[in-house]
C-alpha cells in the first residue's frame, strides 16, 4: 500500500540533498522532499500533509502518525528550534487531523531575515534514504501530491 504525502504549503519542492542541514540532507531521519516557501512577509500556513494523529507539535515542527502507523515529520525552517516567536501553532498535540488542516503559521521572510533557511522538510520517519517515490521538484501548491512511499 502506498501513502501519498501532500505538499503542506506553496513554494518550490526540492530534493532533501539541498536542505542546508546534514541530518535532513542525508535523510538520517527518513526520506522526503523539502519545500522552499514563497518570498513573502505574509503569514504562510503549513497544513497537515496526511490525515492522522498529531503525536508531537512544537512551534517549529509537527509529527503526524497515519492510521497505518506511518510517521510524517514537518520541520518549519532550519535551526528554528528555540525561536517560538516566529510561529503560531494552529492545532493541539493529540488532535486528529485531515490532510489540509492548518498546523502552524509563519512568515518565511521573518525566518530569512535572521539568516536562517525557511525550507520545510517533509519526511516519512524511519524510511530508507532515497525511498521517496515520484518526488516533485519545482513549483508546488498546497495539497498537491509531493511524493509517495
Stated length of the chain: 149
Instruction: Tell me the pairing of strands 61-65 and 102-106.
Output: unpaired
**Residue 45 belongs to domain spanning:** 4-129
What's the pLDDT at 1?
A: 59
Looking at the domain assignment, is residue 142 inside a domain?
Answer: no
How many domains is the chain partitioned into structurally? 1
pLDDT tens track, the chain, 149 positions: 589 999 999 999 999 999 999 999 999 999 999 999 999 989 999 999 999 999 999 999 999 999 999 999 999 999 999 999 999 999 999 999 999 999 999 999 999 999 999 999 999 999 999 999 999 999 999 999 999 99
Which residues are designated catalytic?
A: 75
Looking at the domain assignment, is residue 65 inside a domain?
Answer: yes
- Nearest CA-CA partner of 103 in 82, 87, 80: 87
Looking at the domain assignment, is residue 30 inside a domain?
Answer: yes
What's the pLDDT at 30?
A: 97
Looking at the domain assignment, is residue 21 inside a domain?
Answer: yes
Looking at the domain assignment, is residue 111 inside a domain?
Answer: yes
- Global pTM? 0.96
Cβ pair 37, 78 in contact under 8 A: no
What's the pLDDT at 2?
A: 83
Q: What is the CATH number of the domain that holds 55?
A: 2.70.70.10
Amino acid at each position: 500500500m502506498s501513502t501519498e504525502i501532500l505538499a503542506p504549503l506553496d513554494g518550490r519542492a526540492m530534493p532533501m540533498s539541498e536542505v542546508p542541514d546534514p541530518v535532513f540532507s542525508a535523510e538520517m531521519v527518513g526520506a522526503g522532499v523539502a519545500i522552499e516557501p514563497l518570498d513573502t512577509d505574509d503569514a504562510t500556513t503549513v497544513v497537515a500533509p496526511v490525515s492522522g494523529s498529531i503525536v508531537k507539535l512544537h512551534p517549529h515542527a509537527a509529527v503526524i502518525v497515519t492510521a497505518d502507523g506511518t510517521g510524517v515529520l514537518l520541520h518549519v525552517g532550519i535551526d528554528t528550534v528555540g525561536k517560538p516567536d516566529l510561529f503560531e501553532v494552529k492545532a493541539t498535540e493529540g488532535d486528529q487531523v485531515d490532510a489540509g488542516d492548518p498546523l502552524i503559521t509563519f512568515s518565511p521572510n521573518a525566518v530569512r531575515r535572521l539568516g536562517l533557511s525557511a525550507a520545510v522538510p517533509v519526511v516519512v520517519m524511519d524510511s530508507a534514504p532515497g525511498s521517496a517515490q515520484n518526488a516533485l521538484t519545482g513549483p508546488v501548491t498546497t495539497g498537491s501530491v509531493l511524493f509517495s512511499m
